[in-house]
Structure 1
Amino acid sequence: MLARLMVVTAVTLAVSCGNDDPGPTIAVGAGDSMESNLLAQIYAGALARTGARTSVAADLGRREDYLAALDAGTVTVVGEHSGELLTFLNAGAQARKPEVTTDVADTSTAARLSVTEELNRSLPQGLAVSDPADGTDMRSRVLLTEAAAIRDNVRSVGALAPRCDAIEAGVAPVPDVLSAPGPVRIAGCDFAGTRPYPDAAALRKALLDGEIQAGILTGPSALVPGATDGLTILTDADYAVRAENVLAVYRTGLLDDRQIKKLNYVAGELTTDELAQMIRKVRDGANAAEVARAWLDTHAL
């Protein structure tokens, strides 16, 4: 009898172990930017902690390339910015704010819909998005010299808007982040002209030298330390520049509830400063997977 029980127990254990299959590998896609690869490493690492097998498909190209891979099922998840993805999918989208406004007097689409809501309406069939990372703000920054901000009493983009048609602005890219699908759009602010500059340092010099009267950085200033010294970064509480929060885009039906919750947990912890710090570490030679793993450990994800 004891021998028979031992055989039954052994068979049961074997079946249990055999059923502990993590399933097919979840491929997380990344474009050419450092941020895209880092987000892929974070998502892949987080999903692996649910027991799934994961891999990172890196260097997939530009936004249209990695989204095509997602649409084709080559990858299951990619990292994105909410506003830029909305612009890419729906050029006529009007929503700007991350949350729906409570101003009942404003009945415009921009007021009634959040960026996430309009993005969900614009997604191709078979795709969905995680919660946006509210702690991330990847929007472009509008700059003035400190002297001009004080002289004209301008501290916000809204206060600058009535002056835009008499101002020439410079635009400089912030390196290593997901690229915008087109020129920076600032609601209510149409500059008299714009000039491209190769980097943030050149933009800063042009502002301080008086070549231009305003500047636009296409991402967080934390990624270009020192480039805003002597300058004022205008606030934008009204989202004249459309909200840009990090989120995950994934194919529906391929992730279970635990895995989707894990992506949402990541969104709940990620901040602009932490993401910028991680990108700077990778820029300085750190391994992206190790940087992602350390961040996941720190946040118990």
Structure 2
Amino acid sequence: MLLAAWRRVLARGLVVAALTLAVSCGNDDQGPTIVVGAGNSMESNLLAQIYSGALSRTGVSTSVAPHLGNRTDYFAALDAGTVAVLGEHTGELLTFLDANSKARKPVAATEVAADGVNRQVPEPSVPDAVNRSLPEGLAVSDPADGTDMRPRMLLTEAAATRDRVRSIGDLTARCAELEVGVAPVPEVLRAPTATLRVSGCGFAGTKLFPDAAALRKALLDGEVQAGILGGPLALAPGATNGLTVLSDDDYAFRAENVLAVYRKGDLGDRQIRKLNYVAGELTTEDLVDMIGRIRDGAVPAEVARDWLDAHAL
């Protein structure tokens, strides 16, 4: 009888073991790996790590393909199907897809008619224009409204006070008299600084500088009369000492919000929702903080994981 009881226990154990093995094998079968591509910038790689980590938490297998080159290069990879997802900026992406688009703002403009009803004016929002310009087979996530990766325009404090200039709109009437200096912000996903344009503002000339420090010196020395820095100022510490940052409520610089571009059919509804959840949480301050950590030696994948954990994503 003891032998028979022992056999029954052993049989139950084998059944449990078999079921456990079946479940384990099922969990390992995650389907094709979703490859998230990244360009050469630190921001692009960070976004790829965030998207890869977020998507993996939906139960799919993911990987990151870094250092794919410039925008043309990594969109070629997307077109070829070697990557499925990319991180982008709305304005930069629109310029790449449709250089002649007039869209500048993150939301469509409205006007109040004589009958008191708000109506949308013909100018579309940048995200709407992006959606209309996307090649067949591509789609985008929601834009991260909390991010603002636009360039910033600078004047010396003396010039801003003397001419009573506080916004880019205040400056546009005088742009033709001014030479502007342009410098990149390191690690930001951005087109070459030579391509930066300011709506309604045609400068007398443009000089390119290697970094924010060189641009600041040129402004203070009078070598140029206005400056454009190609991204958030917090990524270029000390860049504005003695300078005034002009506001841009009218979007003379096209809106630049972070979003994901992906191949239709490569992601399911759950993965697309996850990308939208990321967009709902990501802010400029988050990106600045994470890029700062990576500059200090942190591993990008770990930085991305910490951010996803902190936002329960």
**TMscore range, shorter length:** over 0.9
1:181-192 correspondence runs (5 A): 183-192=195-204
1:193-222 Cα shifts (integer Å, max 9, x gaps): 111111100100111111111100011111
How far apart, in 1, do the equivalents of 2:63 and 2:237 lie? Answer: 32
> Could you say which residue in structure 2 is the equivalent of 1:255?
267
> Could you say which residue in structure 1 is the equivalent of 2:216?
204
1:277-288 correspondence runs (5 A): 277-288=289-300
How far apart, in 2, do the equivalents of 1:9 and 1:220 lie? Answer: 57
CA contact (8 A) 2:102 2:123 kept: no
Tell me which structure has the larger Cα radius of gyration: 2
Higher deviation after alignment, 6-15 or 28-37: 6-15
CA 1:246 to 1:14, structure 2 compared with 1: closer, same or farther past 3 Å?
same
SS at match of 1:250: strand
CA contact (8 A) 2:35 2:83 kept: yes
Any stretches of 5+ residues in structure 2 without a counterpart?
1-7, 114-119
> Could you say which residue in structure 1 is the equivalent of 2:241?
229
The percent identity for this pair of structures is 68
> Could you say which residue in structure 1 is the equivalent of 2:102?
94
Give the structure-1-normalised TM-score: 0.92
> Could you say which residue in structure 1 is the equivalent of 2:252?
240
SS at match of 2:260: strand
CA contact (8 A) 1:98 1:115 kept: yes
| Coordinate RMSD, CA, aligned | 2.1
User: What displacement does 1:11 show?
Assistant: 7.1
1:150-194 Cα shifts (integer Å, max 9, x gaps): 111111111111111111111111111112166111111001111
Give the structure-2-normalised TM-score: 0.89
> Could you say which residue in structure 1 is the equivalent of 2:79?
71
- Whichever residue aligns with residue 294 of structure 1, its letter is D
CA contact (8 A) 1:95 1:111 kept: no
Any stretches of 5+ residues in structure 1 without a counterpart?
none
How far apart, in 1, do the equivalents of 2:306 and 2:126 lie? Answer: 31
> Could you say which residue in structure 1 is the equivalent of 2:175?
164
- Whichever residue aligns with residue 244 of structure 1, its letter is E
Counterpart of 1:40 (choices 41, 44, 48) is 48
SS at match of 1:128: strand
- Whichever residue aligns with residue 33 of structure 1, its letter is S
- Whichever residue aligns with residue 142 of structure 1, its letter is M
SS at match of 2:51: helix
